[in-house]
Structure 1
Amino acid sequence: MPFVNIKVSAPEPTKEQKKQIIAEVTDTLVRTLGKDPAAVLVMIETLEAESIGKSGLSLEDLRSKK
């Protein structure tokens, strides 16, 4: 069973965007790897910007510098 875990930073994708992501990722695994769509599991997690760091700074701080 393929398990795909997608982590995105806030703001959270809309319900419709999540549906589209799940459908397209599933379709890609079906087409590319020949997987049964019923066996594909996609999980989307939203992380707060202060919980993600890059180059020693939180994503929240990096965004505020722009």
Structure 2
Amino acid sequence: MNIQSGRKYDAGVKEYRSTYWEPAYTPKDTDVLAVFKVIPQAGVPREEAAAAVAAESSTG
């Protein structure tokens, strides 16, 4: 077995919107769409709150 050492990821917090927020995405005819009402906490951008919901629904 070949084990490589090294760091693949840096510890820290990654914003959800960098992974789950695609404002230019156009839904396909085969996509299933859901609507959520999201009220972010004070100081949290709405895009970040919406992306957090998308992340949670994508990971179960």
Q: TM-score, normalised by structure 2?
A: 0.26
Q: Which has the larger radius of gyration?
A: 2
Larger proportion of helix: 1
TM-score normalized with structure 1 length: 0.25
Structure whose residues are more often strand by fraction:
1
